[in-house]
Amino acid sequence: MVHQKKLVDEVSGWLRLYDDGSVDRTWTGPPEVKFMVEPVPAHDEFINGVALRDTVTNNNVRVRLYLPEKVSNEEKLPIFLHFHGGGFCISEPDWFMYYQFYSELARLARVIVVSCFLRHAPENRLPAAIDDGFSALLWVHDVAGRETEEPWLEKHGDFRRVFLIGDSSGANIVHEVAARAGKTQLKQISVAGGIPIHPGVMRSTRSRSELEKPQSPFLTLDMLDKFMSLALPLGSTKDHPIACPMGDGAPPLSGLKLPPFLLCLAEMDLIFDTEMEYYEAMRKANKDVELFVNEGVTHSFYLNKIAVDMDPNTGAQTHALIARIKRFVEEH
């Protein structure tokens, strides 16, 4: 008799979990937005000013590299190590939503982007994705030390200006990887800064912004609760240090050796209040942290290509975000 697997749980059209432990991440939301979650093939030729290449690191993390056009032999570009979002449970860095933003960022900010394919929960609960992110940083270190090869980084990368950047849950990984880097001797590279964008920081109790601000395609209360329950170590609440780095259960921020941070927030983000709590805790711990808030927009607004093209404010705020990141890199 063939066992008919049963649906155990689902998350806002993004993910379905079955009783046999299998996970289906097929997009079941509106078909008109499906193009944003479809993969963009790598291309060695320059298209819209950027070339893409996929490779696998010497510690078995798959990465995608973005190289901007017209780099002279003498020019050395900052390196962005990018961690995608998705609540640690969904999304891939080759999706169109990331391609359209990070190709633009690579081109306009004149940086090489190294985007990591992170393991997903619940098959691989945290800290798996953080381990992958840190492994990718160690790979960049090995390339700098000529222990392994990556032609674009070797020829064009400035290993003294490595920046960590992440979206949503990927911004949590920025914090965690930066903290690990601060405890590790990395003689071949310098982590010059961290750029957490809309970090998924929260508490087990609802904040005022969670109760009052609008839910959006990229963050609903359902996603907030269920992704964390699937991703955090078994038995954990949202007060776990990965979700709540400013909480009592987290290592004291004052004891962490962190690079300068540019914390990027969205005014209408569901989790704006706890993001601001994180910012204030970083300042209280005397960390070098700058704050940039985009007005009138929601969580991960800049990844929503339809809104970027159709809504004047979303488009303008996306350009402002890129410009602010560019200035932070130029200043560090």
198: nearest Cα among 89, 307, 258, 275? 275
229 is catalytic: no
Helix (H, G, I), strand (E, B) or coil at 285: coil
Residues 6 or more apart whose Cβ sits within 8 Å of residue 93: 64, 82, 84, 102, 115, 116, 117
323 and 187 Cβ atoms separated by less than 8 Å: no
168 is catalytic: yes
183 and 238 Cβ atoms separated by less than 8 Å: no
Q: Which of 168, 169, 236, 300 is catalytic?
A: 168
Torsion of CA 325, 113, 318, 195, to 10 degrees: -40
Q: Pull the structure tokens for residue 159.
A: 């290993």
273 is catalytic: no
Q: Which of 132, 142, 269, 273 is catalytic?
A: 269
Can you point out the beta strands (E) in 267-307?
289-294
180 and 310 Cβ atoms separated by less than 8 Å: no
Calpha distance 21→124 (Å, rounded):
12
Strands 7-11 and 15-18: antiparallel
Helix (H, G, I), strand (E, B) or coil at 322: helix
Instruction: Report, as residue numbers or ranges, the catalytic residues.
Output: 168, 269, 299
